[in-house]
A and B are shown apart, each in its own frame.
Chain A
Amino acid sequence: MRKYIYVIFSFVLTGISVHSHAGEQASTQSVQHSGQASAHSAQAVFSGLIASGQAASAVSAVPLALSASAGVVSGEAANALLDIANTPIGTPLPITEETYSSAGPPPDEALKGDNKSDTKP
């Protein structure tokens, strides 16, 4: 009988332990940790970098292989980017030295004019 009591006690404690951890939840770290890493404080850090000009707020991304046909490449770098879009897979690709994040721009920037990026998280 006592054996069963100990087993039940163990299960109850187990439940308490699990529940207490569940309370800390923001993103599950487990067998698969699929939580959005950029949530909460991590996002806040990158928002700070954007505010200080160390990182850019990215508002969209289009696969470069498709950019040419989609007509989304513009500006001075258009020709170079179109060349990249058409190079065979496996050819070394350029990467910007800039850091970009899904964090939105600072609120004061977002409030200026018709800045569509103000809907970013």
Chain B
Amino acid sequence: MKHGGRFFSAFLCAIFLLPSLGLASHSSGQIYFSPEEIIGFSKKVEKVMAAKGARVALVARVGRPREKLPEGISWTHTGIAVYSLITTADGRQLPGYAMYNLYQRSKEPDKSDLIMDYPVDFFGAVEVLEAGIVIPTPELQKRILQVMSSETYKKIHNPHYSVIANPYTLDYQNCTEHTLDIVFAAIYHTDDIKQIKANEKAYFEAQRVNVNPIKLAFGSIFAADVTVSDHPGQPVTATFESISRFLQKFGAVSESFTVTPTN
């Protein structure tokens, strides 16, 4: 009985603990809300940003239930919304937002691509209908726009992906680190990634990843998109919250808020 209890404990550990990190829990592109709900919410996000005159905004989504996220992390993906002239397949031109993202590949999760999509695509498979939004100051918006429309946007992309990429190193990059790198490239008018990293090290405080090191070590063994090799000590990564705090600290935010279907 005693041994049975231990086996049971081991079984529970295996079944619940590691997946609870989200290290290997995957979506199959499943949608959790009706198309009408997603369309309505996406349009609301667009209208709120447009009403505030945002040409550029950092936008975060919640890809899995909040209770399954590590402590201190509330958002699972960050992209950049750019007010654009959108041309449709039938040739019409519409004013709206385009979303610029670093997405990991579905078949090679340790690799990423830069992909532009639109708000309904961005929020298409979220598990919580909520958007985190940071609207930078006009000057920073202008500079981010310059970066987004230059070769720098692609140049600072590192396709080697890790979900907990260390933002202070050049080894791996995730969606939030790419966003952070764009912000720093914009602030300092540079496409020199080493200079960007030096400035991030000096001024940006990354989020500690509060996950048991043993779990992380095992995650790095079994999940291609998790590595701890770029973390000499306690793992840290860039998050929507930490980028937001950095921008607030240095007076680079016009407004930050969340949008839900009801607020």
Q: Which residues of A line the B interface, CB within 8 A?
A: 2, 6, 9-11, 13-19, 21-22, 24-43, 45-46, 48-49, 54-67, 72-75, 77, 81, 84, 87-105, 109, 115, 117, 120
Contacts of B121 on A, CB cut-off 8 Å? 36-38, 42-43, 46, 101-103
Contacts of A73 on B, CB cut-off 8 Å? 85, 93
Which 10 residue pairs are nearest across A and B when measured between Cβ atoms?
A: A40-B29, A33-B63, A13-B14, A33-B76, A38-B121, A10-B10, A61-B98, A30-B22, A42-B124, A18-B222
> Which candidate, B43-51, B183-191, B197-205, B244-252, is the interface stretch facing chain A?
B43-51
Q: Of B50, B122, B174, B237, which one neighbours A94 at CB under 8 angstroms?
A: B50
With contact pairs A65-B145, A75-B93 given, residues A30 and B226 touching in the complex (Cβ less than 8 Å): yes
Q: Of B6, B13, B94, B141, which one neighbours A13 at CB under 8 angstroms?
A: B13
Contacts of A93 on B, CB cut-off 8 Å? 50-51, 53-55, 83, 95
Give the one of A24, A95, A97, A115 with max B CB within 10 A: A95
Across the interface, do B13 and A10 meet the contact criterion of CB distance under 8 Å? yes
| B1-22 interface with A by 8 A CB criterion | 3, 6-7, 9-11, 13-15, 17-19, 21-22
14 A–B contact pairs at CB < 8 A? A10-B9, A17-B15, A24-B28, A26-B27, A27-B29, A27-B104, A31-B164, A32-B176, A37-B77, A39-B29, A89-B53, A93-B53, A99-B43, A101-B117
Of chain B, the residue at the smallest CB distance from A8 is: B10
Contacts of A42 on B, CB cut-off 8 Å? 29-31, 121, 124-125
| Cα distance, A45 to B36, chains bound together (Å) | 10
Give the one of B31, B116, B122, B125 with max A CB within 10 A: B125
Contacts of B64 on A, CB cut-off 8 Å? 29-30, 33
Of chain A, the residue at the smallest CB distance from B137 is: A89
With contact pairs A6-B7, A30-B25 given, residues A36 and B115 touching in the complex (Cβ less than 8 Å): yes
Q: Of B61, B85, B123, B161, which one neighbours A72 at CB under 8 angstroms?
A: B85
Of chain B, the residue at the smallest CB distance from A91 is: B53
Instruction: Give the shortest distance, in Å, between B245 (CB) and chain A (any CB).
Output: 17
Residue B129 lies at the interface, judged by CB distance under 8 Å to chain A:
no
| B40-97 interface with A by 8 A CB criterion | 42-43, 46-47, 50-55, 61, 63-64, 69-70, 73, 76-77, 82-90, 92-97
Across the interface, do A18 and B218 meet the contact criterion of CB distance under 8 Å? yes
| B154-168 interface with A by 8 A CB criterion | 161, 163-165
Give the one of B51, B84, B175 with max A CB within 10 A: B84
Across the interface, do B7 and A105 meet the contact criterion of CB distance under 8 Å? no
Instruction: Give the shortest distance, in Å, between A12 (CB) and chain B (any CB).
Output: 8
Contacts of A33 on B, CB cut-off 8 Å? 22, 27, 61, 63-64, 76-77
Q: Of B46, B141, B149, which one neighbours A66 at CB under 8 angstroms?
A: B149
Q: A95-B47, A96-B95 are in contact. List 10 more A-B contacts (CB 8 A).
A: A18-B19, A26-B28, A28-B109, A29-B27, A30-B163, A32-B239, A58-B98, A67-B84, A89-B55, A92-B53
Of chain B, the residue at the smallest CB distance from A16 is: B14
